[in-house]
Amino acid sequence: MKRVVVALGGNAILESDPTAAAQQKIVQETAEALADLLTDEMELVIVHGNGPQVGNVVLQQAEADSEKNPAMPLDTCVAMTEGSIGYWLANSLTNVLEKRKITRNVAAIMTQVEVSPNDEGFTHPSKPIGPFLTESEAQELMKTTDAVYLEDAGRGFRKVVPSPEPVKIKESETIKLLLENGVITVACGGGGIPVIRSGSELKGTEAVIDKDLAAAKLAELIEADTLIILTGVANVFVHYNQPNQKALETVSISDIETYIEEGQFAPGSMLPKVEAAVKFVKRSPANKAVITSLENLVKERIGTVVEQKEPVSID
């Protein structure tokens, strides 16, 4: 695992208390765990989500909107949370490494992720952001605004926004240079700032890119060896929450694609993680992706491993 991209969810940073102090405390604990994984040879990139955080920023912008203090567009709100969470992660990791007397620099880089203007994500909003609401609260908001709210994996209703797939990452070569010089890099925060190419210019667009798909694209572009997608459970499951529930350990591309076709993974929850893992592993026979919780990764150093090759059965 020399060059590793770790994708950390925004929900893992914001639990019940949305204050900066509470989120920084969780980030500090995450930094300690990531430092446990670090080796001298490892080139590490951390990609973080921002779903709850960017949703809260959008709400704050709307609440304070006025002629003299106009609300910022969604791409700028993504940039705000990329900056704030990137700062928390870089600061916490720096403090942890210095305490452990590990000589490694940490940098958070604002990342522009190019998307296609023709992506169907713009016509079918699907990315959940902001707080969880009851069905009645969501219905009331949809009567008074043009926002769309959908149920998010049985946990409540959340606002959904366009989520186009990443095509290119403007700063990928810069990130490679940082890694080659031993810098632990925080990048593609919140999936990166969504931009559309118009001639020779990149222009921001109103969207939030799925951070797992952005992590997979970044891992591809920087030629990473391993993509680690962190979630709240130790393994990916099929027949989840049913009597025949089964944890996946090592799974081939062909098997996991069959599970996707069967609808085994919840949209907006585990499905994007599995799809991101498949996209990355398909790029090279040597690639592997791991989906697990941070706690399990630190303790067991494994979770659900997605590989190209078929598992070999041993009689």
pLDDT in 10s for each residue of the chain, 315 residues: 599 999 998 777 887 888 999 999 999 999 999 999 999 999 999 999 998 899 899 889 988 989 999 999 999 999 999 999 999 999 999 999 999 999 999 999 999 999 999 999 999 888 888 778 898 988 988 888 878 888 877 788 988 889 999 999 999 999 999 999 999 999 999 999 999 999 999 999 999 999 999 999 999 999 999 999 999 899 999 999 899 999 999 999 999 999 999 999 987 789 989 999 999 999 887 889 999 999 898 887 789 999 987 544 444
What is the CB-side half-sphere exposure of residue 137 using CA atoms within 13 A? 9
86 part of a folded domain: yes
124 part of a folded domain: no
313 part of a folded domain: no
299 in active site: no
160 part of a folded domain: no
Is 100 in contact with 125 (CB distance < 8 Å)?
Answer: no
Q: What is the pLDDT of residue 108?
A: 98
**Which 3-state string (H, E, C) describes the chain?**
CCEEEEEECHHHCCCCCCCHHHHHHHHHHHHHHHHHHCCCCCEEEEEECCHHHHHHHHHHHHHHCCCCCCCCCHHHHHHHHHHHHHHHHHHHHHHHHHHCCCCCCEEECCCEEECCCCCHHHCCCCEEEEEEECHHHHHHHHHHCCCEEEECCCCCEEEEECCCCCCEECCHHHHHHHHHCCCEEECCHHHCEEEEEECCEEEECCCCCCHHHHHHHHHHHCCCCEEEEECCCCCCEECCCCCCCEECCEEEHHHHHHHHHCCCCCCCCHHHHHHHHHHHHHCCCCCEEEEECHHHHHHHCCCEEEECCCCCCCC
Question: Which residue of the set 176, 273, 279, 288 is catalytic?
Answer: 273
User: Could you list the residue range(s) of the whole structural domain that residue 286 is in?
Assistant: 2-111+172-307
Q: What is the pLDDT of residue 315?
A: 41
Question: Which residue of the set 127, 159, 279, 288 is catalytic?
Answer: 127
Q: What is the pLDDT of residue 105?
A: 96
Q: For residue 244, report the phi and psi dihedrals to the nearest 5 degrees.
A: -100, 25
Cα angle 49, 50, 52 (rounded to 5 degrees) comes to 125
Largest Cα–Cα distance in the chain? 73
147 part of a folded domain: no
CATH code assigned at 21: 3.40.1160.10
Is 166 in contact with 213 (CB distance < 8 Å)?
Answer: yes
Q: What is the pLDDT of residue 68?
A: 93
Distance of alpha carbon 140 from alpha carbon 149, whole angstroms: 10
11 in active site: yes
In one-letter notation, the amino acid at residue 183 is V
Question: Which residue of the set 11, 56, 235, 296 is catalytic?
Answer: 11
Q: What is the pLDDT of residue 310?
A: 58
176 in active site: no
Question: Which residue of the set 49, 159, 190, 211 is catalytic?
Answer: 211
Q: What is the pLDDT of residue 267?
A: 79
Is 77 in contact with 37 (CB distance < 8 Å)?
Answer: no
Q: What is the pLDDT of residue 312?
A: 47
Is 92 in contact with 101 (CB distance < 8 Å)?
Answer: no
Is-above-0.75 flag for pTM? Answer: yes
Q: What is the pLDDT of residue 114?
A: 98
Torsion angle (degrees, nearest 10) of CA 177, 181, 183, 186: 10
Is 172 in contact with 222 (CB distance < 8 Å)?
Answer: yes
Cα distances (angstroms) measured from residue 101 to each of 35, 187, 243: 11, 24, 48
103 part of a folded domain: yes
Is 211 in contact with 50 (CB distance < 8 Å)?
Answer: yes
Number of domains making up the chain: 1
10 in active site: yes
142 part of a folded domain: no
Question: Which residue of the set 10, 86, 130, 192 is catalytic?
Answer: 10
63 part of a folded domain: yes
Please give the distance of CA 83 from its chain centroid, rounded to a whole number.
15
